[in-house]
Amino acid sequence: MHLQCRNEGGAPGPGQRAARRPRRRHQGHAGVTTSSERLAALAALVEGEGVTRVAPPLLLPAGPYFDLAGEEFGRRLLLTTGGDGTEFCLRPDFTLPIVTDYLESEAAGKPAAFGYLGPIFRQRRTGVIEFDQAGLELLAQPDADVALDRVFGFARQTLEIFNVRHAVVRLGGVGLFEALLAGLDMPDVWRPRIRNRFGHAEALERLLTRLATQANGKAETPDRATLIEQVTEQMLAAGLSLTEGRGPEEIADRYLEQQALDAALVPGATLELLRSYLAITGEAEEALAAVEALAGRAGIDLSARLGTLRRHLNAFGPAAPVTFDAAFSPRLDYYTGVVFEMTGQGGHVLASGGQYDRLLERLGATSRIAASGCAVWVDRLEREALA
């Protein structure tokens, strides 16, 4: 795929509304009062200094979304099939096609900044399926923390354009959780399984409950001979052949292999600490202090990650209420460091994003490339402005 760029004063790309952007810089956006003025100010923001505005195609290959975002996100795609059987979808987001095109270009690995404004399409149980979204993606910037602060600033400026003055900021620490997980006492086999469920509260709770059951010694495994005998009896009772397909021995061995994995017990104290960590939420400074105290009692040094989060708090300004939620993470496991969302008075997420270095690795980057960005929901912002 190839992105179409909009340089200053150029024609709009596919799916983008034409909007002449003012040449002046908006100071607080005090004079922005109409919908068209807000859209023009937003267009000016996504075409800011050093930013290339791009317009990914409206029709994109669906495969990468299933591979990288999973079946849950895949169920929200609007799909169609080409004559050769290739499955396509209407553009459900901007980040994936922007990053893909960047990695396929000669600019891969070099600092780049991309802005966008246009429609995306996602299935909903009820209501509309087309939404306007704007955003900023910063790739391979020399200082990842400075880049993330710039992303925060973009989100804050967007909310100012729409006169949203009482948004609540929720921060999460994917990197913080990974650092905690690396320092906990547990068999290595369980670390990726726990990490993959981070941000999926119900799935993670089911896994922790299962591990607690094992730690309490409730799981019992018969010996191989007994198990083969039991499987044989069950197959014969069901009228199944003992020689066609998988036989009793193979079935028993597979079961014992899984039980051996289950027998890699996670200490009860580790599970208790994990649950205590995931329950931490509240005013950011207080919550981070609670994380620091919890990790300190376990002898785990999280000072570097905590220091990074504390430094980023200043990017939102003194007026913004910022909470930290230890269990918060987008349901996409390619996020790597700090993540955030900003919620309006109506309870809807108006802006969200964070650091996502792992996405570029998944897409084939041969070396680590820092990446951070955010998306804002234009329709929701407009409703906030009119409220």
Backbone phi, psi, residue 81, to 5°: -120, 130
The reply to whether 323 falls in a domain is no
Q: How confident is the model at residue 45 (pLDDT cuts 50, 70, 90)?
A: very high
Quick: pLDDT tens for 313-342.
888 766 678 999 999 998 777 899 999 999
- Whole-number pLDDT of residue 240: 78
Indicate whether 59 and 160 sit together in one domain. Answer: yes
- Of 262, 286, 317, which closes a domain? 262
Indicate whether 15 and 153 sit together in one domain. Answer: yes
The reply to whether 41 falls in a domain is yes
Checking if the pLDDT of 248 tops 60, the result is yes
Which residues span the domain enclosing 85? 4-167+344-386
- Of 235, 262, 289, which closes a domain? 262
The reply to whether 66 falls in a domain is yes
Q: Is 366 exposed, middle or buried (0-12, 13-18, 19+ CB in 10 A)?
A: exposed
Indicate whether 93 and 231 sit together in one domain. Answer: no
The reply to whether 281 falls in a domain is no
User: Among residues of the chain, what percentage have pLDDT more than 90?
Assistant: 65
Indicate whether 114 and 228 sit together in one domain. Answer: no
The reply to whether 324 falls in a domain is no
Q: How many domains does the chain have?
A: 2
The reply to whether 306 falls in a domain is no
CA distances from 380 to 82, 136, 196 (A): 33, 18, 30
- Which one-letter amino acid corresponds to residue 209? T
Indicate whether 17 and 135 sit together in one domain. Answer: yes
- Whole-number pLDDT of residue 332: 79
The reply to whether 136 falls in a domain is yes
- Of 213, 234, 262, which closes a domain? 262
Q: How confident is the model at residue 29 (pLDDT cuts 50, 70, 90)?
A: low
Q: How confident is the model at residue 23 (pLDDT cuts 50, 70, 90)?
A: very low
The reply to whether 319 falls in a domain is no
Indicate whether 378 and 247 sit together in one domain. Answer: no
Report CA torsion sign: 226, 228, 231, 233: negative
- Whole-number pLDDT of residue 216: 57
Q: What is the largest CA-CA distance in the chain?
A: 82
Question: Would the pTM count as exceeding 0.95?
Answer: no
Question: Cβ(43)–Cβ(19) under 8 Å?
Answer: yes
Tell me, what CATH number does 43's domain have?
Answer: 3.30.930.10
